[in-house]
Structure 1
């Protein structure tokens, strides 16, 4: 994955791509915001995708992916997720994990995903759940994470996705109890910064040595409260 990151973040990323592999066999895949391409390679080699396009806004990331992860069925390019250089209805599976919270134009991002996905294709996306990442905040509140533009709860994300996608299957990662969620919410009434730091400290103490199984992608209804929201979106059925 390139640079060092906390073990739970690493496992969350790997488990998302492992879950996505079930959708990509013999299909044309776009991995948007692919970074250095480790997930694209998982989709290609473990998922048996026919072709994977890896697109990222970072020139350094694409350079590293191109030099370190060369494969004739992996194509790397610079690109903006709100202005993709792909034709309409050209992608079977569009994968874009932990991207939405970084994009100023979230409406354009979702619209562009719907444009390039084939009528029978799917759009797989994920984003942090604000109920745990920033308790007590609203969609308009600047997140504590300086790299995030905004953070969502499930109802807000669903409303955004349903502007273009007809059917959404919900999944999640890294469960926490409802009691713990209420505890963070109570702290946020005094200090949103304190609730954010309390959650980070909890993860540091409880997840530093946990295995990847702790972060497996599961149906959302099976989790009391998921730290990461994951959605599998299909386009509306044509009459």
Structure 2
């Protein structure tokens, strides 16, 4: 957008609201950097944690809660959390009665140190620094449940890792896969501008990758914000206030076809798959 276009936008009826939103984002972005520093985390990253229970945290947390609903219905499960961040979700999985062990991996060693400090005493939960692409050689399965949320878009060759995954899944195991929803080229261009994003596929392209890797597209779910308070907007500025009026129950997961999910309110594209 050129200078004239920016001026027109600024002086439009929505201008003051856009300025306020931008200032709010910048304020919380800077404030959150100090929170990251306090916990020994990198200043510039995309991790969210229980130390900042804002709307984005609850959106991510709700995905872990939904994943627990898809754990195989038997005991002794071996679980892999591929890209565990600061570990709150791996801790949630590890505390499910069906789970015997969770191997939680992340490339960011600072995140792993945080996770070990805060969740390392949970029985059966093990954290280790490891790039997602390296898990087949360093932490080979089989696993009964492999979980990955908002990780594969960070990989240079996401398709190659997807093709390797079935070898590390137990015969009756499940793969829970979540990525940002990209429905068109305009959204792909926006995601391409994000520093840490590498594999910005349309959701139809992700489904093709999954079909080739698993022989089936699995079940697709659209993750949406559906608040109990209908007039409460979703705050994507990482502002931690208020922190008490939101929870996983303010998000929903709807099984649907890809076409039905193509709306602006879809936060995450999710597939649940098993071996044929």
Shorter-normalised TM range: 0.7 to 0.9
Q: Is 2:118 the counterpart of 1:78?
A: no
Q: Deviations over 1:156-207 (max 9, x none)?
A: 110011121123111111169xxxxxxxxxxxxxxxxxxxxxxxxx8549x9
Q: Deviations over 1:78-101 (max 9, x none)?
A: 1121121233x5100000100111
What SS does structure 2 have at the residue aligned with 1:10? Answer: helix
Structure 1 outlier segments of 4+, above 4 Å = 138-142, 207-211, 221-224
What SS does structure 2 have at the residue aligned with 1:83? Answer: helix
CA contact (8 A) 2:225 2:252 kept: no
**Corresponding residue of 1:130:** 182
Cα 1:5–1:144 shift into 2, 3 Å = farther
TM-score w.r.t. the length of structure 2 is 0.65
Cα distance in 2 for partners of 1:149, 1:40 equals: 24
- The gaps in structure 1 that reach 5 residues or longer are 177-201
Q: Deviations over 1:88-115 (max 9, x none)?
A: x510000010011111111122123222
Cα distance in 1 for partners of 2:133, 2:262 equals: 33
Offset of residue 5 of structure 1 = 7.1
User: Which one has the largest radius of gyration?
Assistant: 2
CA contact (8 A) 1:12 1:216 kept: no
**Corresponding residue of 2:69:** 22
State the superposition RMSD in angstroms.
2.8
What SS does structure 2 have at the residue aligned with 1:50? Answer: strand
Matches within 5 A, 1:1-239: 1-2=49-50, 4=52, 6-7=54-55, 9-24=56-71, 26=75, 27-46=77-96, 48-69=98-119, 70-84=121-135, 85-87=138-140, 89-131=141-183, 135-137=184-186, 143-167=192-216, 168-174=218-224, 203-204=234-235, 212-221=248-257, 225=263, 226-236=266-276
Cα distance in 2 for partners of 1:59, 1:86 equals: 16
Aligned length: 205
What SS does structure 2 have at the residue aligned with 1:96? Answer: strand
**Corresponding residue of 1:192:** none
CA contact (8 A) 1:110 1:161 kept: yes
- The gaps in structure 2 that reach 5 residues or longer are 1-48, 227-232
